[in-house]
Structure 1
Amino acid sequence: MEAQLEVIGFLLVALALLHAPFARYFNWRQEFAAVSLINRQMMYVHTFFIAFTVLLMGVLCLTSAPELVSTVLGRKLALGCGLFWLARLLIQFFGYSAVLWQGKRFETTIHVVFSIFWAYLSTVFILVSFG
C-alpha cells in the first residue's frame, strides 16, 4: 500500500498544479464580471485552498506513506482522506449536471477519467485506514 500512496502523492501534486490555469482556461475574468466582488474573490480563494489542500495531501503521501500505513494516527488520516475523496466522487455524479458532459467527447472522457480517479483515491485511502 505504501507504493500506492506514493503514486497517489505524485498524482495529487500534479492535480494541485493543474488548478493554476483554471481562471484563464475557464475564462473567469469574463464569466465572473457580472457577479459581486465577494463572489468573484471567493471563487479564486476557494480554488486556491482546494489546490493547496490537494497539494498538502499529495506531499503527505509522498513523504509519509509508511506512517500512514503503520500508525493509528496515519490510518485515521487515511480515513479522512478516503472520506474526502469519496465525497468528491459522489459530487461528480450528484453535484454536476450530466448536461455538462453527456454527448460531448472531451467532457465525457474527463468525467469518466476523474470518476475512476476519485474512486481509486477513495478505495486506497479507505483500505489503508482499515489496515
Structure 2
Amino acid sequence: MEAQLKLIGWLLIILALLHAGFARYFNWRHEFAAVSLINRQMMYVHTFFIAFTVLLMGLLCLSSAAELVGTPLGRRLALGCSVFWLVRLLIQFFGYSAQLWRGKGFETFVHVVLSGLWSYLSLVFLLVGLA
C-alpha cells in the first residue's frame, strides 16, 4: 500500500498544480466581471486553498506513506482522506449537471477520468484506513 500512497502523492501534487491554470482555462476574468469583488476574490481564494490542501495531502503521502499504513494515527488520517475523496466523488455526480459533459468529447473524457481518480483515491485511503 505504501507504493499506492506514493503514486497518489504524485497524482495529488499534479492535481494541485493544475489548479493554477483554472482562472485562465475557465476565463474567470470575463465570467466573474459581473459579480461583486468579494465573490470574485472568494472564488480565487477558495481555489487556492483547495489546491493547497490537495498539495499538502500529496506531500503527506510522499513523505509519510509508511506512517499512514503503519500507525493508528496514520490510518485515521487515511480514513479522513477517504471520506474527503468519497464526498468529492459524490459531488462529481450530484453536484455538477450532466449537461456540462454529456455529448461533449473532451468534457466527457475529463468527467470519466476524474470519476476514476476520485474512486481510486477513496478506495486506497479506505483500505489503508481500515487495515
TM-score class, shorter-chain normalisation, is over 0.9
Deviation at 1:45, TM superposition (A): 0.2
Name the counterpart of 1:125: 125
Counterpart amino acid of 1:68? L
Do structure 1's residue 116 and structure 2's residue 106 form an aligned pair? no
The CA distance in 2 between the partners of 1:78 and 1:126, in whole Å, is 7
Counterpart amino acid of 2:6? E
The CA distance in 1 between the partners of 2:77 and 2:129, in whole Å, is 8
Q: List gaps (5 residues or longer) in structure 2.
A: none
Q: How many residues of Structure 1 are paired with residues of Structure 2 in the alignment?
A: 131
TM-score by length of structure 1 reads 0.99
The CA distance in 1 between the partners of 2:95 and 2:101, in whole Å, is 13
The CA distance in 2 between the partners of 1:116 and 1:15, in whole Å, is 14
Name the counterpart of 1:28: 28
Name the counterpart of 2:78: 78
The CA distance in 1 between the partners of 2:130 and 2:116, in whole Å, is 21
Deviation at 1:69, TM superposition (A): 0.2
Name the counterpart of 1:2: 2
The CA distance in 1 between the partners of 2:81 and 2:95, in whole Å, is 19
Counterpart amino acid of 2:64? S
Counterpart amino acid of 2:59? V
Name the counterpart of 2:61: 61
- Percent identity, aligned pairs only, is 77
Alignment RMSD: 0.3
Q: Which runs of 4+ in 1 moved over 6 A?
A: none
Q: List gaps (5 residues or longer) in structure 1.
A: none
The CA distance in 2 between the partners of 1:76 and 1:14, in whole Å, is 24
Name the counterpart of 2:106: 106
